[in-house]
A and B are shown apart, each in its own frame.
Chain A
Amino acid sequence: MSVSPAVPSTHASQPNRGWYKRNEIAITPWLFLLPAMIFFAVYVIVPIGQSFWISFHEWDGLGEKAWVGTANYERLLGIGDQNMDRKFTVSFWNNLKWLVLYLLAIPAGLFIALFLNQTVTGIRFYKSMFFFPFVISQVVVGLVFSWFYLPREGLLNAVLAIFGAGPVNILGDPTLATYGIIAAGLWPQTAYCMILYLTGLNAVDPEQVEAARLDGAKGHKMLWYVILPQLKPATFIAFVVTIIGALRSFDLISVMTNGGPFGSTRVLSFYMFEESLSEFGFRMGYGAAIAVVLFFLMLGFITYFLYSMYRDEKGAH
């Protein structure tokens, strides 16, 4: 059954419109996308491919690239008759420490959010003050914590002395230094997770909470069975940003220990930088190979994140 539209179609009344006009709906999105796509392709997509390519070469960044096949990877992973690159092993294990310990930001953030989710006077001020370490640059956070850890001038040892402990030289001790840096990183990261959870808690359905209360649920049972399921989107984002943040850790290490003492605080991202732009000469090929390994480490997580987002996207339509 065909009914003519109430509004006369403008398309039919202009038979001689230009090619652009006729295809406007199809072309416009591409015109709007073009600048962003060019920028993104030139600076992000193509370089990923180039890094793979460079990782099969020996290159000082200036002269000709010399093809070496998989030699860089063999040296890195110790394939054949050589040992695994010791610096790489240290970096890799430190990366794992970062990944695991950095996730503590999520429960810590949730804890602070629960503590602050009240409506007393001045609570807005407290929320902002708890959050604002996140806004400070990692370089300054690194400096602040390295002064906090100073064996003589640092406040940490002064506090420890009150409890009769210490003094410790955290950043000078190869077994402690990495943990000291991770603690510094946890500070802003916890603030970030806190704000995610505060927003999430704000949107928790009050009727469900009341209903659960009438059923006698309270305390951790309420938290686990009623509140946390509703905080799932916040937890997902907290998880994404924390994982990405852990694997990107570079600024803090560079500022606080510069990889030391005795190379004990290196992570892959730092080691890669060191190899590529070190004072001992630019080993871009080897650096690129480390970056590729880091990329694959991250790819697992990226795939999972994208898959979850894709599922939501499909569910929304």
Chain B
Amino acid sequence: MFPTPLEKTSRQWQISYQVLLPIMLIIWLLPLIAVANFSIKPESDFVNGNYWGIPSSFDAFSNYGKVFFESNMPRYLLNSLFITIPTVIGAVALSCMAGFALGIYKFRSNLLIFFIFIAGNFVPFQILMVPVRDLTVNMNLYDTKTGLVLFHIAFQTGFCTLFMRNFIRALPFPLIEAARVEGIAEWKIFLYVVLPLMKPALAALAVLIFTFIWNDYFWAVVLTQGPTAQPVTAGITEFNSQFRAAYHLMSAGSIVAALPPVAMFFLMQKHFIAGLTLGAVK
């Protein structure tokens, strides 16, 4: 193990390490701590210049209450949910199938198609912006959740296919050969042999895509414009203009907007990190 395990180091270093850990963490999270502190302060603290000190009274309930009951925030949160969940399902379903095709079968253009999926995934969004916006307008899907979902599914399919294909590649191939010898139809092999083995990959991808899509901002401003369809990342700007310069409410709002993926990460940490670090070890 590197660096040298703590047990084998000097007593002084052991103690300083234990002291350093929390200090480093506080410095690391300082901007966030400041915002969390903002969000539980009463308005009067900002008037009196008590910006970063201890709140003079604990006003979390009234601040967060305002976010949920006196703004469009719940609407935006729901929109985000209705955009994110179908995208996760769609992208994972499409890429499972594509990953199966590219991981199991040998045909001439296999590697070419695989690399087109990877390459598309690296492309800057901006080169897609004008045509995709135009396409969405022409399909009468501008400013709808469906328009956003369709694009997200298509774009995420690139990354997901890369992920699924590499995962399927690592499965024991004799299993599939055995099924073929038994005369099982190919689509049944996918459904009953491969799919059950892919559960960890499915979980990892689902949490990753959930986070990516929830946090998307660019496509939200390109393809939607109002509270009927905008997700929370875009809606927060409207929220902030409603409560201009009311830092206690704006920070409560952004904490609420950021929370779902954070909760998802802490609940599904193992899958999340497994997905994110795929390929970091050979």
Q: Which A residues have a C-beta under 8 Å from some C-beta of B?
A: 7, 10, 24-26, 28-33, 35-37, 39-40, 42-48, 50-51, 54, 61, 114-115, 117-120, 126, 128-133, 135-140, 143-145, 147-148, 152-155, 158-159, 187, 192, 195-196, 199-204, 206, 209, 218, 222-223, 226-227, 233-234, 237, 240, 244, 247-248, 250-251, 254-255, 268-269, 272-273, 276-277, 284, 287-288, 290-292, 294-295, 298, 301-302, 305-306, 309-310, 313
B276 with A192: CB separation less than 8 A: yes
Chain B positions within 8 Å of A10 at CB level: 183
Within the complex, which residue of B101, B126, B135 is in contact with A273, where a contact is CB–CB below 8 Å? B126
Q: Report the stretch among B57-65, B66-74, B113-121, B197-205 that lies at the interface.
A: B113-121
A36 with B281: CB separation less than 8 A: no
Place the interface of chain B in its size category: 35 or more
Most A CB contacts (10 A, CB to CB) among B95, B124, B185, B186 go to B124
- Apart from A40-B154, A187-B31, list 7 A-B contacts with CB within 8 A: A28-B101, A28-B105, A136-B261, A136-B262, A144-B34, A276-B130, A295-B126
B273 with A195: CB separation less than 8 A: yes
Most B CB contacts (10 A, CB to CB) among A119, A200, A276, A291 go to A291
Return 21 A-B CB contacts under 8 Å, by A number.
A31-B187, A36-B97, A51-B129, A117-B2, A130-B25, A135-B262, A135-B264, A139-B217, A144-B35, A147-B35, A159-B30, A196-B276, A199-B281, A204-B2, A233-B282, A247-B124, A251-B233, A273-B218, A288-B127, A291-B129, A302-B123
B186 with A119: CB separation less than 8 A: no
Within the complex, which residue of B24, B98, B265 is in contact with A132, where a contact is CB–CB below 8 Å? B265
Q: CA separation between A281 and B27, bound complex, in Å? A: 44
B5 with A144: CB separation less than 8 A: no
- Shortest C-beta distance, B166 to chain A (Å), equals 10
A114 with B157: CB separation less than 8 A: no
Within the complex, which residue of B6, B115, B123, B150 is in contact with A119, where a contact is CB–CB below 8 Å? B6
A233 with B280: CB separation less than 8 A: yes
Chain B positions within 8 Å of A206 at CB level: 1
Q: Which of B202-260 contact A (CB under 8 A)?
A: 211, 214-215, 217-218, 221-222, 233, 236-237, 240, 247, 250-251, 254-255, 257-258
Q: CA separation between A119 and B266, bound complex, in Å? A: 20
A254 with B31: CB separation less than 8 A: no
Question: Interface majority SS on A: helix, strand, loop or mixed?
Answer: helix
Chain B positions within 8 Å of A32 at CB level: 97-98, 100-101, 190
- Shortest C-beta distance, B242 to chain A (Å), equals 14
B97 with A302: CB separation less than 8 A: no
Q: CA separation between A247 and B127, bound complex, in Å? A: 12
Q: CA separation between A131 and B28, bound complex, in Å? A: 10
B46 lies within 8 A of chain A by Cβ: yes
Q: Which of B61-109 contact A (CB under 8 A)?
A: 94-95, 97-98, 100-102, 104-105, 107
